[in-house]
């Protein structure tokens, strides 16, 4: 089905429902929050009489961007539910997403888990925030400054400040349109680029303790003890995920973050080798050059490192 037809279907559903609940993925990043709450602000501005809710856990370090609502179970009974920026159902924050009357998925990850009555998925888009902007324009919805600020944050976050390969001419045009709204993009940029003193020390730790293999594969493990010593939470550790890529010799890398004994969150990034297939082998997935996975033992960590090394070698 063509994107234009899907946009029309989603627009019709938004117009038809009086109550709309919007979800996104757990451990939200700027694009998850930007697309989720940006869409909510668009709907509120376009249809002031509708009841629009955004749900999910609070996100440490991003409370300046948006906050969530508390929604009782009974509100779902007559609601349209929209999930943004979430590839698969286990990652949806607040598992009541399937309790509404209709379910819509809007996402820019590969559509391996095709959930929802309507699925607007474009894995060539830079971000889900870009897709929300396109939807608003196609549907002739209002785009208030509150929404523009959120979508801009999502755009900047998922393109690495427009440095990643997912940045297209259309992405830059969307950003140009968004910054014409009444908000200060420099404040958004500054907030997204700011480190706490603890995160700065973590950055130094990563650079000092990272192993770079001859192939260009790199890795570092952040144990719970290390995070505790540096006074950094698991959520705050996300600030260093892109850091190894600043080193010229590194072409693919992994950061293993211990969340519980024998349970590591695995951040995978790449400058060229495709890594999402590797991520799928380890309870994860994502984009070709930016994915996440899980490791449940030291042996699995070593397996992932070996597989990264092979990918890097094969890229030469």
Give pLDDT, residue 286: 87
Q: To the nearest 5 percent, what fractions of the chain are helix, strand and coil?
A: 45, 20, 35
pLDDT digits (tens, 9 = 90+) for 19-53: 999 999 998 999 999 999 999 999 999 999 999 99
Mean pLDDT in residue range 142-148:
98
Is the model's pLDDT at 316 over the cut of 80?
no
Cα separation, 286 vs 299, in Å, equals 23
Question: 245: which DSSP letter?
Answer: G
* Topology match between the domains 3-192 and 197-315: no
* Residue pLDDT, tens place only, 255-313: 999 999 989 999 999 999 999 999 999 999 888 999 999 999 999 999 999 999 999 99
Q: Which CATH class is domain 3-192?
A: alpha beta
Percent of the chain with pLDDT over 90: 93
Neighbours of 157 (CB within 10 A): 21
How far apart CA 308 and CA 304 sit, in angstroms, is: 6
Who contacts 29 (Cβ-Cβ below 8 Å, separation ≥6)?
62, 157, 158, 238
Could you state, in order of their start, the residue ranges of all structural domains in the chain?
3-192, 197-315
CATH number, domain 197-315, options 1.10.540.10, 3.40.50.740, 3.10.310.30, 3.90.660.20: 3.10.310.30
Residue showing tokens 């890398």: 253
């Amino acid at each position: 089905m063509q994107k234009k037809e899907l946009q029309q279907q989603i627009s019709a559903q938004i117009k038809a429902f009086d109550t709309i609940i919007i979800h996104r993925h757990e451990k939200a990043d700027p694009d998850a929050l930007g697309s989720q709450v940006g869409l909510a602000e668009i709907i509120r501005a376009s249809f002031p009489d509708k009841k629009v809710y955004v749900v999910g856990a609070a996100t440490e370090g991003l409370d300046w961007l948006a906050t969530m609502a508390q929604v009782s179970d009974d509100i779902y009974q007559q609601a349209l539910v929209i999930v943004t920026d979430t590839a698969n159902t286990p990652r949806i924050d607040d598992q009541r997403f399937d309790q509404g009357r209709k379910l819509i998925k809007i996402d820019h990850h590969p559509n391996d888990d095709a959930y929802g009555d309507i699925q607007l998925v474009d894995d060539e888009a830079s971000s889900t925030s870009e897709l929300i902007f396109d939807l608003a324009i196609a549907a002739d919805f209002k785009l208030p400054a509150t929404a523009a600020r959120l979508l801009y944050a999502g755009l900047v976050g998922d393109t690495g400040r427009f440095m990643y390969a997912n940045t297209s001419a259309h992405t830059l045009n969307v950003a140009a349109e968004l910054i014409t709204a009444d908000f200060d993009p420099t404040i958004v940029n500054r907030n997204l680029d700011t480190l706490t003193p603890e995160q700065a020390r973590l950055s130094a730790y990563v650079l000092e303790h990272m192993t770079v293999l001859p192939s260009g594969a790199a890795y570092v493990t952040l144990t719970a003890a290390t995070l505790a010593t540096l006074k950094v939470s698991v959520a705050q550790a996300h600030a260093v995920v892109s850091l190894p890529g600043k080193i010229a010799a590194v072409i693919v890398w992994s950061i293993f973050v211990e969340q519980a004994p024998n349970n590591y969150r695995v951040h995978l990034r790449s400058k060229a080798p495709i890594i999402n297939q590797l991520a799928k082998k380890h309870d994860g997935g994502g984009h070709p050059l930016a994915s996440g996975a899980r490791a449940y033992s030291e042996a699995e960590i070593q397996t992932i490192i070996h597989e990264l090394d092979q990918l890097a070698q094969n890229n030469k």
